[in-house]
A and B are shown apart, each in its own frame.
Chain A
Amino acid sequence: MKTWIRLYEQHRSVRNEAGEQLGQELRARLKGLADRDYCDGAIVGRFNHRNKRGLREWYIGNDDGRVALVGLPTVSSASLTVLALVDAQNHHVHQFTAMLEGLNATGQPLTVAVHLEDDRGDQGDRKGSGACAHAALHCHVGPNQYVEPKLRVPFGAVGPVQALDWLLSSVVPDWEPAPWAAVMAVLAEKENQKGKPR
């Protein structure tokens, strides 16, 4: 059980690490899609926020809350939904969703969704039976979210922006925020720093 407790604690921590720039960083990802012609450039202005007494919702201001994605090599009829509910004062992330819907390469329905469960209310983000089957931050991959079995893959301790990056990296060519060469360069530098005398 220790592993699941540790993961749950990490998921709680990431809610406070997104910072005040969450909306802007999510918009930057959407802008990146538009710059590569995977969606309409109007998405920059359509990604909006509205507030109610210190609670801020980030959403895509299209009729159904989605933006159509075009030109993806492995997913057709695709759309993307990005949503967040945050505390406007301290930027704590209460809830986050990024969802891709479309048809896979064989023409079958595909949904890829990352959810950080809402931590407000009596039960907070503790949904389902427990921290293993229903981790606070998890992803779904399948035809949709309600066909059985409902698979909720526990996600690592990443923030909403990184979770969106993962989702996009699954279907957008060359969407890689952490290329191995850059990762190894950072690790090598860390090793160098360890070896240096104080």
Chain B
Amino acid sequence: MREATQALLSALERDVGGIAIIWCPDLGLREWLVGEVESVAPTAARPFRTSSVEDAIKEPTRMALLIPTDEKQVVLDLDGSRDRLRGDGEGRTQPVVLFLVRGGDGQRTLAEQAPSLSSWVSGSDTDPEAIAEIDVEAERELFKTRTGTTPKGWLADWRAGVTPRDGATYSLAYWAALLEEP
């Protein structure tokens, strides 16, 4: 099963000097996802927030967290700045990370008006919250395969005090609590 944080890291590391796109369910979660990227970024990446493509270009050795106020314009600016982003000589050593809302102006502009940029970032985009949303039935099957019983059955023993308490069983308990049938 893919994990959200691993998918995020893969997108950030795929093209170190390029552009990564993080798809956000809505503006509220966009802010949260910016925090997620900040928290997984290596210290040496020195991430910083900006709404300006120019500011991002000026800092080739830092991870630019590009949070648009106008998604369409930012996508067009990035598309028009591909050569500058690649840089002369050594180029970027840290990616520009662009946060776009799913189904928003940025996504439409990328598809309809910035095919070169779209091609460049292909494979460097990810939707962590979509990945994080589990397939409940598949996870319940995985739980059963791993433990030999359903989450409900496992929790019954846990709550009755039958199951010994250690880090591994607490991890199973939380997983089971997430999967528990209502």
Task: Write 27 A-B pairs (CB below 8 A) sorted by A numbering.
Answer: A21-B35, A31-B39, A35-B43, A45-B6, A45-B9, A48-B3, A49-B132, A50-B133, A50-B134, A52-B136, A56-B132, A57-B178, A59-B171, A59-B175, A64-B168, A66-B167, A66-B171, A83-B171, A84-B174, A85-B174, A95-B174, A97-B174, A101-B166, A118-B177, A144-B166, A145-B164, A146-B164
Which residues in chain B, 7-39, are within 8 Å of chain A measured between CB atoms?
9, 32, 35-36, 38-39
Is B46 part of the contact surface with A, judged by Cβ < 8 Å?
Answer: no
| Contact partners of A57 in chain B: CB under 8 A | 174-175, 177-178
Decide: A52 and B179 in contact? CB cutoff 8 A: yes
Q: Which residues of B contact A59 (CB under 8 A)?
A: 171, 174-175
Is A24 engaged at the interface, CB distance under 8 Å to the other chain? yes
Chain B interface residues toward A at CB < 8 A: 3-6, 9, 32, 35-36, 38-40, 43, 129, 132-134, 136, 139, 164-168, 170-172, 174-175, 177-179
A116 within 8 A of B: no
- Which residues of A (29-68) have their CB < 8 Å from a CB of B? 31, 35, 44-52, 55-57, 59-61, 64-66
Asked if A81 is at the interface (CB within 8 A of a chain B CB), the reply is yes
**Interface flag for A20 (CB, 8 Å):** yes
A97–B174 alpha-carbon span in the complex (Å): 9
Tally of chain A residues near chain B (CB < 8 A): 41
Whether A51 contacts B133 by the Cβ 8 Å rule is yes
Interface centre among A44, A52, A146 (most CB of B within 10 A): A52
The closest CB in chain A to the CB of B10 belongs to: A45
B171 and A81 within 8 A (CB): yes
Of B9, B40, B170, which contacts A83 at CB under 8 A? B170
